[in-house]
Amino acid sequence: MRINVKTSLLLLCIALTGVMFTGCNGSKKIEKPLDQNILGRWTVYVSYVQNDGQWVEDEFPGEAKQIMLFKEDGTAVVLYTEPEGLTTSRVVQWTADDKTEILQFGQSTMQVLGLSADELEISSDRALDPLTGEIVNSQNRWKLVRSDNDPKLLEEQLIGRWQFSHSYEMGPEGWVDATFGVVDAGYYEFRQDGTATSYCQIDNIEQKYDITWSSNTIDKTIIWTGLEEEPILFSVAIEDDTTLSVYFSNSRDIKTGEKLPGEYKDVFVRVVE
């Protein structure tokens, strides 16, 4: 059976417990201490699966990508971009043992095969088949390159709190001040674990929602779930990492519940802590 290891690397940190690991690391250099040298952002650039005793490269389809961000507080952010651009993120706990050269990553155990200033190689002896959900014995290796200075994905750019600034609607000659459903105050707060908070206030009426979210790095859209029965899709644009524009086709008055179709834009400013 051929395993889609690009997907299974993300799922391993969520689904597997007691995972076995590949044996020795050969002659590759491993910089220590691991818990210091592994800190930062890493992008998977090549993936291998062992078929009939041979290591075979398993190419990434389309825009598929995986990123791991190891943080000093013992958490790691895992981002997976599907071939069509949809990106999801998870936060897991991680530890590293210098003696055994084992990386405990969420609920999975991986062997560190190599670690330098710019490259990380890890392996696992099990994988999760994304089509069946079955845990299978499958020798896998991943090579990652340090990517701290690479352009951030939309999912990464959105993290933090954005304070409402202004509402616009499309008029005959372009964007003008909105006249319907304008709030007095509001914010979005996007978190790395895939949850978010939406808040708005008009007069003495407040609305606050906790939702889950993902993004599409190709279409530049945000997908919200948990706010209504169906997922809500917004187009967004970020300028200079400080200004977020959110585009939508229905404006809603939170006092009356009335919706007015049209073309609208809310502008938010990043809150710097």
The DSSP result for 202-231, as a single string, is ETTEEEEEEEEEEEETTTTEEEEESSSSS-
What single letter denotes the amino acid at residue 243?
T
- Picking from 125, 143, 144, the residue whose alpha carbon sits closest to that of residue 135 is 125
What are the start-end ranges of the H helices in 136-261? Answer: 154-157
pLDDT at 252: 79
CA 253 to chain centre: 32
Report the distance separating Cα 251 and Cα 262, nearest Å. Answer: 7
Q: Identify whether the C-beta of residue 103 lies closer than 8 Å to the C-beta of residue 92.
A: no
- Ordered by where they begin, the domains of the chain are 5-146 (2.40.128.280), 154-270 (2.40.128.490)
- Picking from 271, 230, 266, 270, the residue whose alpha carbon sits closest to that of residue 248 is 266
Report the distance separating Cα 115 and Cα 37, nearest Å. Answer: 8
Three-state secondary structure readout of 2-71: CCCHHHHHHHHHHHCCCCCCCCCCCCCCECCCHHHHCCEEEEEEEEEEEECCEEEECCCCCCCEEEEEEC
What single letter denotes the amino acid at residue 115?
L
| Residue 55, number of CB atoms within 10 A of its CB | 12
Q: Identify whether the C-beta of residue 25 lies closer than 8 Å to the C-beta of residue 101.
A: yes
CA distances from 51 to 139, 170, 244, 269 (A): 8, 57, 47, 51
pLDDT at 140: 87
| Residue 119, number of CB atoms within 10 A of its CB | 15
- Picking from 183, 182, 215, the residue whose alpha carbon sits closest to that of residue 196 is 215
pLDDT at 226: 78
Q: What pTM does this model have?
A: 0.83
Going from the first residue of the chain to its last (273 residues), give the mean pLDDT of each consecutive group of 10, the final group possibly shorter. 41 41 59 97 91 81 85 95 91 95 86 97 74 66 95 96 97 93 94 95 90 95 84 94 94 79 95 88
Q: Locate 160 and state its tokens.
A: 């933090």
pLDDT at 129: 53
pLDDT at 13: 46
Q: Identify whether the C-beta of residue 224 lies closer than 8 Å to the C-beta of residue 244.
A: no
pLDDT at 3: 35
